Amino acid sequence: MPIVLVTIPSAWGPVHIAAGADGVVAAELLGTPEGFRAGMARRRLGDPVPFREAPDGPARAIAAAARDALAATLDGQPADLGAIPVDIADRSAWDRLVLGAVRTIPRGETASYGEVARWIGRPGAARAVGGAVGRNPVGLLVPCHRVIAADGSIGGYGAAAWGGVEAALDLKRALLRLEGVEIP
């Protein structure tokens, strides 16, 4: 089964999405096409087929659904991102546990790293939760931007590759603002 690649524009730059027959395997905001493909290669996900060349089938249908839902979300419209299947089977059991919990945080709400740790039965593992969140391969579909620090501040987000730490935090604030959440 092919991995289907689709890219959509956003106010912050391109969003790259790769889907297989079981779900979205990668989604990235702001990365380059080359960097996105390199990340997929490191994960041994295969060489993706551009959406316009992809055969009809589950991967193409999931890529289209993810494209539409993410475009709506980034335009500030509510979309059921939880209805889009994700396939993170190549991640560790810990990362899958954490990201599954993060995926349950509703639009317009936040949770702290410590809260997520308690939800999964690992109180005191807030830093380890932060590590798993930082390795999220399906950004936005697993809404790691909704995870904040225990004191209600913004916490961390993304990578310096996005223009530095402050640029990444500004993006996190903007994504939350789209959902009606203001974090200073």
Positions marked active-site: 144
CA distances to 55, 84, 134 from 49, rounded to whole Å, are: 9, 19, 27
The phi and psi torsions of 74 (rounded to 5 degrees) equal -75, -10
